[in-house]
Amino acid sequence: MKIVLLVLSGDPVSARAWLHEKYPGGLIEEISRGELESSTPLGRIRALHSHSPEIFAVATERLAWQSGQGDLLLFGTLAGARRVVLLDKCGHSRDETRPGVVARAPFRFARESLISALAVVHSRSGLKKLERAVEQRGNSNSPDRNGTGPLRIAYLRSTPGVGTQAGGAATHINGFVNAATDLGAEIRVISNDDIAGIDRTILKLVDPEPLGSSRAAFDLHNNLVFTRGAIRELEHSPVDLIYQRYARFSWAGVSASLRTGLPLFLEYNGSEVWMGKHWDMGGRLPLLTRFERLNLAAASRIFVVAEVERRNLLRAGVSDEKIVVNPNGVDTEKFRPGIGGVSARGELGVADDEILAGFVGTFGPWHGVLTLAEAITQMPADSKVRFLLIGAGRLREEVQRIISAAGKDLQVIFAGHVEHRRVPALLDACDILLSPHVPLEDGSEFFGSPTKLFEYMAIGKGIIASRLGQIGEVLVDEKTALLTEPGNVRQLADAIVRMSQSRDLRERLGAAAREAAIAKHTWKHNAQRVLDAYRDWSR
C-alpha cells in the first residue's frame, strides 16, 4: 500500500507514526509543500499523480484550523488516490474514499462558496459601521472603575495559526498572564483554540468553524464567530480592560470595546499586512489593511515588542502617546542553570567531551537556519561540536539537504517540535546557544523580539547571535554574547569554534546574560508595563 504524505504543518514524525498505526505495512513517501507550491493547479495534480498514491495523507497542526479541506480531499482524488486522509497532531482525522469525495464535492463547493461570499459581504458592511463608530467615539471612552479590587482583564486571542498552540506565541501569552496574575490582576483568557500551558479554569473557548473556501474567507468567517462568543462572555462576566493579541482579520477587541465602553489595549507583534505581502500569503490585502487600521485607531494603547515597530506605527500616523514599547521576556525560574541538562544530554546521546550547540525556533526565512546550516558545513573535521536543532518549518528540508550534502549528518540532532515544558532542559543541555537571524527579505528593518533570546539569556549559557535589530540592542558583544554580522557564514562558524574552545568564555558570557535577564527582561517587567499603562490612562 503506497501512502503519499504531505505535511502542511505540525510534526512529520508524529504524522508518520499515526499512519503506521492506522495502515500497518504501508509504504510512506513524503511529497514536499515546495514541490506543489511552485506549480500550477494542474501541475500540482500531475506532481502528486507521479507518486502513484493509493492513499493521500495530509498532516496539519490543527484540523479545526485547516481551511479548504474540501479542496484537499478533491485534490487527492483527482491525483488518483483511492482514499484521502486528513490528520493532525491532536489525533483528529478525516478519512474519505474516492467515491465519497466525488459524490460530496458539488455540495461542498456550493456551501463553501456561499459561506465565503457571506463572510466577505458581512465583513465589508461591518467594517463600515465599526470605522464610523470609532471615528465618532474618538478618545471619549473613559474609565469607570471605582478603584477597589483587582484589575480585571479579558485577554482575547482570536486567530491562532501554525505554532501558536505551543511555541513563541504561547510562551508570550503564558508569560504575560502568569506575571500579571502574580502582580494582582485577574485574567480571563478568551480564545478560539487551546493554548499550551494556560490553566483551563481561566480559559473560555469559542470553538472555530472549519468553513471557508480560502484562508482569508476562513479567517473572516471565524472573526464573526469569535466576536459573537467573546461579547457574550464579556456581557456575562464584566471586566475593566480588554487586552487583545492583534491578529489578522480580527475586530473582536474593537467591537467589544465599543459595545462595553471599555478601553482596548492592543498587543501588536507586527503588521499582518506586511506578513500578507511577504510571508503568509492569505489574500484579501485591501480588506486586511482596513482591519489593521481599524484596530490601531480603536486601541487606547498599543504595545509593541521593539523600538522598530514604534517607528513603523509613527510612520503609519499612530499617535506617539498611544504606543508603549514592551519587549518579550522570560520566566527566570523556569529557565535557569541546572534545570535538567545532564539528563537531557544522556537522552540525546551527547558525550561528556562533546560541545553541544543548540538552536530553537521556526525554520523560517529570517531565523537564519540556512546560514546556520552552511556554518555547520564549515566546522573543522576534528571539531567536537554537535548541534541540536529544535523546531520545524518550511526550510527544514533545505537545512537537512545542506547538512547531508556536506556529510555532517552525525554532527546534527533534529529534535523537531517539542513541548515547551521540555525546552528549558534541552537548552540547559547545551554549552552554546545560537540565534543566527538574518535581515528581512524586502529590506524592512528587523522588527522581531524573539522569546528564545531571553530564554537563552536566562539559562546562563554562551550565546552567539546576529547583530540585528533588538537582538543587537539587548545583547552586548563580548559581555553577554558574541555578536556576528547577519548572514555571515564564516563569522558564525568562527564564533562557534572560538566559544567551543573556551569554557571560561562560555561561563563568563552566560553568567552576565542571566544577570541581565533577571534585572531587565522578565515577564513581570512586561506585565508591569501594561498595568502601569492602564494606571496612567485611567488618571
Share of the chain above pLDDT 70, in %: 96
Using alpha carbons only, what angle is made at residue 170 by residues 167 and 174, rounded to the nearest 5 degrees? 135
Provide mean pLDDT across the span 158-166: 59
What does the pLDDT average to over 521-527?
96
Q: What is the pLDDT of residues 414-464, one digit of tens each?
A: 998 888 889 999 999 999 999 999 988 777 778 777 889 999 999 999 999
- Give the model's pLDDT for residue 359: 97
Q: CB within 8 A of 146, min separation 6: which ones? A: none
**Which pLDDT belongs to residue 68?**
81
Please compute the mean of the pLDDT values over residues 245-272 and round it to a whole number. Answer: 94
pLDDT digits (tens, 9 = 90+) for 320-331: 999 999 999 999
Q: Given a cut of 70, is residue 142 above it in pLDDT?
A: no
- Looking at the predicted structure, is the pLDDT value of residue 147 above 70? no
Q: Parallel, antiparallel, or unpaired for β 412-416 and 385-390?
A: parallel
Cα separation, 345 vs 228, whole angstroms: 48
What is the predicted pLDDT for the residue at 529?
96
Judge whether residue 84 has pLDDT over 80: yes
Q: Are strands 83-88 and 93-97 parallel, antiparallel or unpaired?
A: antiparallel
Is 265 in contact with 303 (CB distance < 8 Å)? yes
Pick the closest to residue 119 from 233, 231, 249 (CA basis): 249
Least confident of 54-63, 341-350, 406-415, 488-497: 54-63
pLDDT digits (tens, 9 = 90+) for 172-213: 899 999 999 999 999 999 998 888 788 889 999 998 888 877
Unique residue bearing C-alpha cell 486567530: 159
Least confidently predicted of 103-107, 311-315, 393-397, 512-516: 393-397
107 or 376, which is more confident? 376
Average pLDDT over residues 354-369: 91
Question: Distances in Å between the alpha carbon of 509 and those of 23, 69, 500, 516?
Answer: 51, 49, 13, 11
The DSSP result for 403-438, as a single string, is: HHHTT-GGGEEEEES--GGGHHHHHHT-SEEEE---
- Name the residue with cell 513563541: 168
Percentage of the chain exceeding pLDDT 90: 68
Q: Are 212 and 112 in contact (CB under 8 A)?
A: yes
Instruction: Return the higher-pLDDT residue of 307 and 196.
Output: 307
For the segment 66-88, the average pLDDT, to the nearest whole number, is 91
- Under the banding of pLDDT at 50, 70 and 90, the label for residue 165 is low
Give the lowest-confidence range in 2-6, 197-201, 402-406: 197-201
Confidence band for 162, pLDDT divided at 50, 70 and 90: very low
The per-residue pLDDT of the chain, averaged, comes to 90
